[in-house]
Structure 1
Amino acid sequence: MSSGNVEETHSEAASHGAEAASHGASLTPGEYIQHHITNWTFGEGFWAINLDTMIMSIFCGVVILLFGRYIKNRVTEGVPQGSQNFMEMVVEFVNKNVDDNYPGHNPIVAPIAITVFLWIFLMNFFDIIPVDLIPGAMEAMGADNYRAVATADLNVPMGMALVIFILTMYYSFKTKGGEFAMEFVTHPFGKWLAPINIIMKAVEELAKPLSLGLRLFGNLFAGELIYLLIAALIPWWLHWLGGLPWTIFHVLVIVLQAFIFMVLSIVYLAMAVSSDH
C-alpha cells in the first residue's frame, strides 16, 4: 500500500472516530430519545426479531442459571453466609407468597414464581445503568441501535404474560372442565343472556394477561424515558443531580414490578384451580 493510501486510510479512520464521538452531541433531544428507544432489529414486519431484547433476556436467564449452579455447588450446613443466605431469603420469600395465595399444592407454581421474580428483576436492573454505556458499547461493535432493558420492550412482558395466561387456561379446564366452559355461557347474567356473558367472560379473561404485561412494560418504559430525558436535556456534568434521586426511587420500582408480576401470576393460577371463583 502506498504512503498516500495509508495517510488517506488514517484520515478516514480519524474522521469516522470523530464523527462517532460527536454523534450523541449532534442529535437533538427528540432524535436522541428516538434513537435510544429504537430496537436493533433483524427482519421486517411480523417476523422481525429484536436482537437486543433476545440478547439481554437470554443473558439474564443464563446469569440466573449460573448463579443458581454456583449456590448449589457451595451449599453448606448451619448458618448460611453471603450468596447462599441471599438465595435462601429469596426462596423463602417466594414460598411464603405461594403458600399464602395458592390453594393446595402444585409442583410447578413455586418454580414459575421464583423464575418470574428473578428474571424480571435482573432485566429491570439494567434500567439503572447509565443510558449510553451498554448501547454505546454494542453500537461500537456494529449494532444499529441497542436497548439494554428487555422489559421496556413490549414483546417481553406480553410474552411472559401470555405464558401465564396459557397456564391459567390449561389449569382452569383441567380442574373445572365443563364447569369452566359453562362460566362463559352463564356468568354473570344467567343462560338467557349467553351472548353477552360470553363477551364479558372473554374480556375478563383477556384482561388478565393484558394488565399483567402492560403494567410491567409501562413502568419500565417510563423509567427508561425519564433517564433519557435527563440525559438529553441536562448538561452531562449535572446528570448525577437529576439521575441520582430518580435512581433511588426507581430501584423500588424495579423490585416492586418484579414482585407484582410474580404475585399476580400466583393469584391467576390460584383462581384457575379455585372452585369458588
Structure 2
Amino acid sequence: MAGSGELTPQEYISHHLQNLQVGSGFWTFNIDSLIVSVVLGCAFLWIFYRVGQKATSGVPGKLQCFIEMLVEFVDASVKDIFHGKSALLAPLALTVFVWIFLMNLMDLIPVDFLPHTATLLGIPYLRVVPTADVNITMSMALGVFLLIIGYSIKIKGIGGFAKELGLQPFNHWAFIPVNLVLETVTLLSKPVSLGLRLFGNMYAGELIFILIAGLLPWWSQWLLSVPWAIFHILVIVLQAFIFMTLTIVYLSQASEEH
C-alpha cells in the first residue's frame, strides 16, 4: 500500500514500475519478467501434459473438458484463417494464446502482494506482469517475424521471396528500389505492431492498478480496483486472442504465393 513505509505516491508508483535487473547497457536483463514468463510457460506445459496423460474417452473431468474446448477453439481459428498445411501452426497458436493469457492474468494479482513478499525476502524490485515489459512482447514478436521469413522462403523459395519484395506493388524492374522500401516497411511493421500493441495495453492496465493503490487510501481502493479488474478480464483474454490471430494471419500471408 502507499501508506506503508515512507514512500510518497510518486516513489511508490516508480518503485512498482521498476524491474529487477542485472547487467548494464544493452545487456541489461529484466530477470523478474524472464523468471515469471518461464515459470508460467512451464506450468502451461505441465498442466496440458498431465491432462493429456490422464485423458479419458469417457466422461471428461472439468479440467479436461475445458482444455478440449480450448484446443477445439484454437484449431477452428487456425482452419478458418490458414488454408495451407502445417503441423506447426496449430500447436504454435495454442501455445501463444495460453502463454500470453497466463502472463496477462498476473495483472489481476493485488499490486502489493508479490512485490511486498519479495521485499521481505530481500528482493528490492519485482514486476509480475511479463507482458507489461516491452522486452518480452517484442521478443515474442521477433519470434513470429522469424517464422514469417522462414515460411516465405520455404513456400516461395529465396528467389520468390526476393521477387515479392522487389516487384510488388509495382511489377516493373524500374520500381525495384521503391518496392523494396515499401515492402520492407510493411514487413517490419508486423512484428513492431504485434509487440507494441500487447505491451501498450498491458502496461496501461498495470499502471491503472498501481495508480489506484498509490493514490487512494487502502479502505477505498476496492471501489475502483474491483470494477477495473472485472473489465480488465476482457482485455486479458482479448489481447491474447489478438496476438494469436495476427500470428496466424501473418503466417498465412507468408505462405500464399502471389
Query: Which TM-score band (shorter chain)?
Result: over 0.9
CA distance in structure 1 between the aligned counterparts of 2:119 and 2:230, rounded to whole angstroms: 28
Between 179-188 and 198-207, the greater mean CA deviation after superposition: 179-188
Q: Which residue of 2 aligns with 1:6?
A: none
> Which structure is higher in RCO with an 8 Å CA cutoff and minimum separation 6?
2
Q: CA deviation at 1:22?
A: 8.6
- Normalising by the residue count of structure 2, what TM-score does the alignment of the two structures yield? 0.96
Distance, in Å, in 1 between the alignment partners of 2:53 and 2:205 is: 37
Give deviations 1:214-273, integer Å, cap 9, x for gaps.
Answer: 000000000000001111111110111110110011000000000000011011111111
Q: Which residue of 2 aligns with 1:152?
A: 132
1:102 maps to 82
Partner in structure 2 of residue 244 of structure 1:
226
- Code of the residue aligned with 2:111 in structure 1: it is V
Conserved 8 A contact 1:103-1:274: no
Equivalent residues in 2 for 1:225-244 (5 A)?
225-244=207-226
Match of 1:16 in 2: none
- Verify the 8 A CA contact 2:131 2:198 in the aligned structure 1: yes
Matched, 1:186 2:172: no
Moved more, 38-47 or 178-187: 178-187
Quote the residue 1:113 is aligned against. Answer: 93
Correspondent of 1:211 among 193, 204, 211: 193
Measure, in 1, the Cα distance between the counterparts of 2:2 and 2:229: 27
Does the 8 A contact of 2:97 with 2:240 survive in 1?
A: yes
Encode CA deviations 1:177-219: one digit per residue, 9 max, x unaligned: 2122112212123321221211111100000000000000000
2:256 corresponds in structure 1 to: 274
Instruction: From 229, 243, 248, give the equivalent of 1:261.
Output: 243
Please list every run of 5 or more consecutive structure 1 residues that lacks an aligned counterpart in the other structure: 1-20
1:36 is matched with 16
Q: Does the aligned pair in 1 maintain the 2:151–2:255 contact within 8 Å?
A: yes
Q: How does 1:33-182 map to 2 (within 5 A)?
A: 33-177=13-157, 178-182=159-163
Larger Rg: 1
Cα distance between partner residues in 1 of 2:209 and 2:190 = 29
Q: Say yes or no: does 1:223 pair with 2:205.
A: yes
Instruction: Compute the displacement of 1:69 (Å).
Output: 2.2
Q: Say if 1:22 and 1:252 are closer, same or farther in 2 by CA, change over 3 A.
A: closer
Post-superposition offset of 1:24:
4.0
Report if the CA contact (8 A) 2:32-2:126 is conserved.
yes
Note if contact 1:176-1:275 (Cα within 8 Å) is conserved in structure 2.
yes
Per-residue deviation, 1:90: 0.6
Query: Which amino acid letter does the alignment assign opposite residue 148 of structure 2?
Result: T
2:22 maps to a residue whose letter is F
What amino acid is aligned across from residue 118 of structure 2 in structure 1? M
Give the share of equivalent positions with the same residue, in percent.
50
Alpha-carbon distance in 1 for matches of 2:222, 2:56:
41
Distance 2:73 2:31 in 1: 33
Matched length: 256
**Deviation beyond 3 Å, 4+ runs, structure 1:** 21-25
- Flag structure 2 segments of 5+ consecutive residues without an equivalent: none
Cα distance between partner residues in 2 of 1:22 and 1:102: 49
Instruction: Tell whether 2:174 aligns with 1:195.
Output: no
Where 2:221 maps in the other structure, the secondary structure is: helix
